[in-house]
Amino acid sequence: MDSTQDSAHNQPPKRSNLKSYLSDIALKTGLSEQEVAKVSRLIFKKIRVAIEEGETFHTPTLVIQSVSKPPKPENEKRAALPQRRVGRIIIKSSRQTKDKE
């Protein structure tokens, strides 16, 4: 592995903000940014409820599974973590989505 690959692995992951996508989605759909924001919040609220209730949320290209993470004991760097629910996102390959059509 060369040094450019090493430095790429050490960089923090790129973070995106939903607000940065609203104007682009609004342009593509013909909706206002406020309408796109409202619909986005409603969708994310539904996804959150599905995760909290242990359901699996399906779309044609994504699957969001609810996973229970076990509690972790305290260590020298952080306090103990309780058991918690998280959402695991699975990206379906384009081949999987074509097979279902």
pLDDT cut 90: percent of the chain above it? 54
What is the reported pLDDT for 90? 92
Residue 73 pLDDT > 90: yes
Residue 66's nearest CA partner among 85, 45, 83 is 85
E strand or H helix at 100: helix 94-100
Top-confidence residue, 8 or 25: 25
Residue-range domains of the chain with CATH? 18-72+82-100 (4.10.520.10)
CA distance 95 to 7: 32
CA distance 99 to 58: 16
Residue 79 pLDDT > 80: yes
Answering whether pTM is above 0.75, one says no
Residue 56's nearest CA partner among 42, 69, 46 is 46
| DSSP code for 49 | H
